[in-house]
Amino acid sequence: MKIYNTLTRKKEEFIPIEQGKVRMYVCGPTVYNYIHIGNARPMVVFDTVRRYMEHKGYEVNYVSNFTDVDDKIIKKSVEEGVDSSVISERYIEECKKDMEGLNVRPATTHPKATEEIGGMLDMINTLIEKGHAYTGADGTVYFRTRSFKDYGKLSHKNIDDLQGGNRSLLVSGEEQKEDPLDFVLWKPKKEGEPYWESPWCDGRPGWHIECSVMSKKYLGEEIDIHAGGEDLIFPHHENEVAQSEAANGKIFSRYWMHNAFLSIDNKKMSKSAGNFFTVREIAEKYDLQAVRFFLLSAHYRSPLNFSEELMEAAKNGYDRIVTSVGNLKYLMENVSAETINEREEELLKEAASFTDKFDAAMEEDFNTADAIAVIFELVKFANQNASASNSKGFLKALSDEIILLSDICGLIVEREEQMLDSDIEKLIEERQAARKNKDFARADEIRNELLQKGIILEDTREGVKWKRA
């Protein structure tokens, strides 16, 4: 299994710290609103990484935080006149609903920043003791960036270039800083803001320290994989590395994975530009499974554009897989032979090669675009080779293979058995009778009526099938 490591800028063979186990941390969202489609990309991508690893037998300890103390949350709480925890709790719950729709499995642990303050105070204290941090006159605690000799190793930035680039910040104040590169570990409260007591001042943690502490608490000082959006590489992850390695004296994370950005209509998503979609909005129009399919249709390190047109194409592609599985299931229920015959056995051998091809794609830094292409090849193979003359065992083997590969991608392709109410069944029967009598006008009338109710009818060689729109 190979992983592209941001740290080395190379694809590397994945070797876990502890055999058979994976310690993985994914930076989660700040909960001040519904999550947007851009937030969904890392959730889906890294959930897929996790699923594949578990499929390969790894035990994955998957930790993803909720940042529930932040300027934006506070701003919203002021606007609504409620406590900031009301805001964060609300959007954590909403986020979980969206994740469920996207079939993103809950993490092993979902820590919240506000519940980990003690650990943050400890780490900040350690950093001060080791000379990596200092306190300003107002009680703000800063990380002494230049005290960490490897600063810049993750984002591959030269510390002196950074200073040059940030020259404008020098004049913007913050005279308490020893160096403009230093960043905040703990900041004093402002009136009306949530705060915690600390040896330095009543206040709250800086953003970066949160992840360092939560990662350490739930996964240990040294972890296998740390992941997130590519925009987090600098400064967030760079600062995490500095804090954690300076405090713990150990390599923080061996592999760093970053997903590329998702744009909307070829423009960067931004609220001011108005090209901003929440997962909730999209769910009104599309099945979130199609959204997941869409997000996996490109490699996670390639930029991906989101648009109505592209979403429509993704929906159609996803439906093709669902239809195929539905057809196999239908055949299975209407076939008499149970056991697989010789000819079928040969075909199944051929079908098994698709699974090998699928694995090969995933082994190469989780090439989901290729993996999905393999699922389509398998779907085509099934469509070509499955018919009413096959045995149940053969049809089930094909169906199971498609379902399994899709499931590794977190795609649900098996439509749940739904009961039709008796009125609808009566209409379908009436339509069949009308067709028999060649009363096609009445037959079409009924079909349209059902379509209004969201039931799509298809007349196949084997009989009438229906599905929900």
Partner RNA sequence: GGCGCCAUGGCCAAGUGGUAAGGCAAAGGUCUGCAACACCUCUAUCACCAGUUCAAAUCUGGUUGGCGCCUCCA
By CB under 7 A, is residue 157 in contact with RNA?
Answer: yes
**Distance in Å, CB of 289 to RNA, minimum:** 14
Of 34-42, 109-117, 186-194, 339-347, which part binds RNA (CB under 7 A)? Answer: 34-42
Residue 316 touches RNA, criterion: CB under 7 A: yes
User: What letter represents residue 465's amino acid?
Assistant: K
Q: Binding of RNA at residue 174 (CB under 7 A)? A: no
CA atoms of 223 and 233, how far apart (whole Å): 17
Q: What's the order of all strands across the beta sheet hosting 304-306?
A: 267-268, 262-264, 304-306
- Min dist CB 258 to RNA, Å, is 8
Give yes or no for a contact between 154 and 251, defined as CB atoms under 8 angstroms apart.
no
408 to 437, contacts with RNA by CB under 7 A? 435
Closer by beta carbon to RNA, 165 or else 199: 165
147 makes contact with RNA (CB under 7 A): no
Sign of CA dihedral 81, 84, 88, 89: negative
- Tell me the closest approach of the beta carbon of residue 367 to RNA, in angstroms: 5
Shortest Å distance, C-beta 129 to RNA: 25
Restricting to residues 261-290, name those near RNA by CB under 7 A: 261-263, 266-269
* Footprint of RNA on 335-354 (CB under 7 A): none
**Beta carbon of residue 19, minimum distance to RNA (angstroms, whole number):** 28
The only residue of 41, 76, 177, 292 in contact with RNA, by rule CB under 7 A: 41
Pairing outcome for strands 463-468 and 304-306: unpaired
Q: Which is nearer to RNA, 94 or 125 (CB)?
A: 94
Residue in 80, 192, 440, 451 binding RNA, rule: CB under 7 A: 440
Report the site for RNA in 44-83 (rule: CB under 7 A): 70, 72
Q: Does 456 bind RNA (CB under 7 A)?
A: yes
**3 forms bridges with which residues in the sheet?**
12
Work out the number of other CB atoms within 10 angstroms of the CB of residue 428: 18
Interaction of residue 317 with RNA, rule CB under 7 A:
yes
Distance CA 362, CA 300 (A): 12
Considering only residues 358 to 387 of the shown chain, the ones binding RNA according to CB under 7 A are 361, 364, 367, 369-370, 372-373, 376-377, 379-380, 383-384
Instruction: Pick the binder of RNA from 103, 147, 259, 289 (CB under 7 A).
Output: 259
83 exposed, middle or buried (CB, 10 Å; 0-12, 13-18, 19+)? exposed
Among 5, 48, 103, 324, interactor with RNA by CB under 7 A: 324
CB of 416 to RNA, least distance (A): 19
The verdict on 468 binding RNA (CB under 7 A) reads no
Which range touches RNA (CB under 7 A), out of 53-61, 122-130, 416-424, 459-467?
459-467
Pick the closer one to RNA by CB: 109 or 383. Answer: 383
Burial class (CB in 10 A: 0-12, 13-18, 19+), 129: exposed
Q: Which stretch binds RNA (CB under 7 A): 39-47, 113-121, 191-199, 395-403?
A: 39-47
Where in 85-124 is the site for RNA (CB under 7 A)? none
Binding to RNA by residue 38, rule CB under 7 A? yes
Residue with Cβ nearer RNA (16 or 282): 282
Q: Which of 80, 93, 309, 333 binds RNA (CB under 7 A)?
A: 309
Q: Which is nearer to RNA, 27 or 397 (CB)?
A: 27
Residues 6+ apart with CB under 8 A from 250: 221, 222
- Shortest spacing between CB 220 and RNA, in angstroms: 22
Per-position x/- string for 196-235, each x denoting binding to RNA as judged by CB under 7 A, each - no binding:
-----------x--------------------xxxxxxxx
Q: Which of 161, 178, 429, 430 binds RNA (CB under 7 A)?
A: 161
| Choice from 106, 199, 249, 303 touching RNA (CB under 7 A) | 303
Nearer to RNA, 117 or 211 (CB): 211
Asked if 176 is part of the footprint of RNA (rule: CB under 7 A), the reply reads: no
Largest distance between two CA atoms of the chain = 92
